[in-house]
Amino acid sequence: AKNVGILAMDIYFPLTCIQQEVLEAHDGASKGKYTIGLGQDCMAFCTEVEDVISMSLTVVTSLLEKYGVDPKQIGRLEVGSETVIDKSKSIKTFLMGIFEKCGNTDIEGVDSTNACYGGTAALFNCVNWVESSSWDGRYGLVVCTDSAVYAEGPARPTGGAAAIAILIGPDAPISFESKVRGSHMAHVYDFYKPNLASEYPVVDGKLSQTCYLMALDSCYKQMCNKYEKLEGKQFSLSDADYFVFHSPYNKLVQKSFARLLYDDFLRNASSIDEAAKEKLGPFSTLSGDESYKSRDLEKVTQQLAKSLYDAKVQPTTLLPKQVGNMYTASLYAAFASLIHNKNSALAGKRVILFSYGSGSSATMFSLQLREGQHPFSLSNIANVMDVARKLKSRHEFPPDKFVETMHLMEHRYGAKDFVTSKDISLLSPGTYYLTEVDSMYRRFYAKK
């Protein structure tokens, strides 16, 4: 199989949301902390009728319908998620309902979990399968689904929720440059979920920021090394048209791109002009540790990177700023934003993606884009995802209703023997929703 990669995508996020400006005031944070300090505009969240299973049922059904893919044509289905509803039964098995109806139970793959990285692991599994000798000619399907919720406190505004479905096959408009890739995996306690009775993570915010940047540096270095071995020339920021980051909140994305500029400076790469060299000179002798802590370095690199950021990163930021951190779906929602903003103009471009999952596991990898053939074309992917309409049809909750929803969800997490309100007035037609969890913890869903 040649040019294996992404043929089609669709995204679903709950239409219920809260404006960050409103949350900021409600939380008593200083004005601008969430909107400018974190760089976030709005945050989506599930109410009691939605969860990671209903969202993935919605997005998979929608992708198959809108691209006219017969469910029998799926040979592998992989789910990435860090939202635990069941410690044994995979989310993938819930999705099998869609395929069993059509007589297709011959589908490999289960769930992958490691914080926000599970989606990338699932994606690589599907691409590898299509490239392997066990491929049977059918499509792979990847689903990233998460509900990111935090306890009250400084991490709460960095929540979000979404599910993304990605169809994998040969002759794709978005193909993998599989040799241009670098990973960084390490044992750290930056963000983890040891309390199985709660949906909320334990998070060391400051440490998680540094771990993210350290993984970014390390992946970039590995990827550059591999590129140089392959191409016989140095890689720099000039060699890719767009950079897409896992986006817990936008400020970290701004800092990450600026960090890559600093990495290019340290590597003496061609992307750094004389004026920038002069400004960065004083920072050339900092130790790694010092460089992560230096506010001056952060300021100087962000200023120097500003125009490149606007060109190569800003078009990827719409959904992560509007929906929030979607954990496994976050990176792919950023990529979806790029397709939404640029669609056909992306033909011939190289896009670098950085996936980070706390704990930690991270990979930087490269995609090559072509227009492709309908229905698997960049312009049709943008049409199907219909991001602008979805964003416009949202319902803003006031803070007290948001907090009330979070309390109810805490109560419901891991619970049995309840029926939901079945108030589906805020859902779009075609959306799946939770109706009941019975005395055996079995979950039941219906479609609006």
**What residues line the site for ligand ACO (CB under 6 A)?**
30-33, 36-38, 116, 154-155, 158, 191, 203, 205, 208-209, 212, 248, 251-252, 358
The least distance separating ligand ACO from the CB of residue 127, rounded to whole angstroms, comes to 23
- The residue annotated as part of the active site, out of 17, 82, 224, 340, is 82
Distance of CA 424 to the CA centre of its chain: 26
The least distance separating ligand ACO from the CB of residue 361, rounded to whole angstroms, comes to 12
Would you say 21 or 386 has its CB closer to ligand ACO?
Answer: 21
The least distance separating ligand ACO from the CB of residue 311, rounded to whole angstroms, comes to 22
The least distance separating ligand ACO from the CB of residue 18, rounded to whole angstroms, comes to 15
User: Do 139 and 108 form a contact (C-beta atoms < 8 A)?
Assistant: no
- The residue annotated as part of the active site, out of 50, 219, 246, 340, is 246
Cα–Cα distance between 331 and 427 in angstroms, integer?
Answer: 25
Cα–Cα distance between 204 and 192 in angstroms, integer?
Answer: 9
Would you say 183 or 344 has its CB closer to ligand ACO?
Answer: 183
User: Do 400 and 421 form a contact (C-beta atoms < 8 A)?
Assistant: no
The least distance separating ligand ACO from the CB of residue 161, rounded to whole angstroms, comes to 14
- Amino acid 32 reads G
Would you say 118 or 248 has its CB closer to ligand ACO?
Answer: 248
Supply 37's token pair.
């300090």
Place of tokens 């590129």: 227
Would you say 158 or 236 has its CB closer to ligand ACO?
Answer: 158
User: Do 7 and 168 form a contact (C-beta atoms < 8 A)?
Assistant: yes
Report DSSP state, residue 358. T
In the complex, residue closest to ligand ACO by CB? 37
The answer to whether 224 is a known catalytic residue is no
Cα–Cα distance between 23 and 43 in angstroms, integer?
Answer: 9
Strand, helix or coil for residue 50: coil
The answer to whether 108 is a known catalytic residue is no
Would you say 191 or 445 has its CB closer to ligand ACO?
Answer: 191
Would you say 90 or 358 has its CB closer to ligand ACO?
Answer: 358
Supply 270's token pair.
């061609």
Cα–Cα distance between 172 and 369 in angstroms, integer?
Answer: 8
Bridge partners of 166, per DSSP, are: 9, 142
Task: From 109, 81, 115, select the one nearest 93 (Cα to Cα).
Answer: 109
Neighbouring CB atoms inside 10 A of 369's CB total 25
Cα–Cα distance between 448 and 433 in angstroms, integer?
Answer: 8
- Amino acid 36 reads I
Place of tokens 């589908």: 107
Strand, helix or coil for residue 183: strand
The least distance separating ligand ACO from the CB of residue 106, rounded to whole angstroms, comes to 36
- The residue annotated as part of the active site, out of 17, 46, 116, 224, is 116
**In sequence order, which residues have a C-beta less than 8 Å from that of residue 18 and are 6 or more positions away?**
42, 43, 45, 396, 397, 398, 399, 402
Pairing of strands 443-447, 432-437: antiparallel
User: Do 117 and 357 form a contact (C-beta atoms < 8 A)?
Assistant: yes
The answer to whether 246 is a known catalytic residue is yes
Would you say 192 or 283 has its CB closer to ligand ACO?
Answer: 192
Strand, helix or coil for residue 81: coil
The least distance separating ligand ACO from the CB of residue 14, rounded to whole angstroms, comes to 19
The least distance separating ligand ACO from the CB of residue 206, rounded to whole angstroms, comes to 6
Would you say 211 or 378 has its CB closer to ligand ACO?
Answer: 211
Would you say 36 or 388 has its CB closer to ligand ACO?
Answer: 36
Cα–Cα distance between 304 and 301 in angstroms, integer?
Answer: 5
Supply 254's token pair.
């701004």
DSSP assignment of 145-162: EEEE---SSTTGGG-EEE
The least distance separating ligand ACO from the CB of residue 65, rounded to whole angstroms, comes to 32
Residues with catalytic annotation?
A: 82, 116, 246
